[in-house]
Structure 1
């Protein structure tokens, strides 16, 4: 699943023009190309490069990752696509989040890119199910603050998937995934008596 998502991302990158690459993504203040740079850096950047940036960033992993993504984004888009294909089968399995974290990173960032560009999402149901289970399962460190899903019931109406108990947050799996990971734009696609509380938590965290 992960390897295929990397190749699909490479195919997407090959279709983007300069204006699209410079468009703001849903991921903080990153452009589309910087999001791509982040995905490439996770599998293609030398460990020594990350270590140097960690030192420069005061050992703040988030700042180091942002700087590394920016460096990668300075490369031509075709080169980034090539690196995604070259390293598509990289067996990287980060601690705690493991393979589900890798798959989730690709799916969420894919939507960070596609939504602002108005491109179809083409997400695979079985992969979305893995990601949703991961996001509410307590291991999604760096993806979902622990308190965000607590006391709410989430339902993906197009998957027959649900988790949790409490006020309901219901919608398509893609919108549930994006809202759990803090993308405010996706909240408008959800319904239920728990949506207001989820929106409040996203705005606070």
Structure 2
């Protein structure tokens, strides 16, 4: 399965590179759906593996108090200060790179690209339909127990999620139902999609922290 995901990953990198190249400076400075990152800083995050040498990661983790999240955020902001065209070029020229992050592997890499692509598109009001096959891979990954750093298990615990356009479901309990793209973002804690979902579980999510 891993090798089957590489063409999907390459396609997503190229889609995001094309997207970044199409944006104005104002759009690049827009807050994304991902925490406090701007659209350009999200692009920086996705380009980090191709622009930052590996030897820099350990010292940065040490300076960040052994917090991978904090180190990741610092790198995203640092690399996000580079010209947007260079970030797009890095994603495009490394589209077929077989990067395989530890633990989460290629499913995690594909999911990172799909989720962050929507983090960019949605605040800008840009269409971002995700292809069904990669979307299904990411939904399975998020509920499969290996999505470390992607989801908070307390956020989705005791709920059933259903994608109306994919014939996909997982979990048991009050229902959270809607388009697969909205379910993907809901699983990763993006509250902005809750109005697009139906079922008794939506109110449960709305009452939870992330």
Q: TM bucket by the smaller chain? A: over 0.9
Name the TM-score, length of structure 1 as normaliser. Answer: 0.95
Contact 1:43 1:90 in 2 (8 A): no
1:126-137 → structure 2 map (5 Å cutoff): 126-137=133-144
Distance 2:68 2:172 in 1: 33
Distance 1:179 1:42 in 2: 26
How far apart are residue 44 of structure 1 and its match?
Answer: 3.2
How far apart are residue 182 of structure 1 and its match?
Answer: 0.5
Partner of 2:132: 125
CA RMSD of aligned residues (A): 1.1
SS at 1:147's partner residue? helix
Contact 1:167 1:193 in 2 (8 A): yes
Matched, 1:165 2:201: no
Distance 2:182 2:150 in 1: 15
Matched, 1:24 2:35: no
Partner of 1:113: 120
Partner of 1:196: 203
Residue in structure 2 matching 1:53, options 41, 46, 60: 60
Contact 1:26 1:116 in 2 (8 A): yes
Contact 1:14 1:81 in 2 (8 A): yes
Distance 2:206 2:155 in 1: 10
Matched, 1:99 2:106: yes
Partner of 1:14: 21
Distance 1:147 1:138 in 2: 13
Deviations 1:73-112 (A, max 9, x none): 1111111111111211121111221111000000000000
1:25-104 → structure 2 map (5 Å cutoff): 25-104=32-111
Structure 1 residue ranges (4+ consecutive) displaced by more than 3 angstroms after TM superposition: none
Distance 1:147 1:93 in 2: 27
SS at 2:207's partner residue? helix
Contact 1:14 1:78 in 2 (8 A): yes
Contact 2:155 2:189 in 1 (8 A): no
How many residues are aligned here? 203
How far apart are residue 160 of structure 1 and its match?
Answer: 1.1
Name the TM-score, length of structure 2 as normaliser. Answer: 0.93
SS at 1:182's partner residue? coil
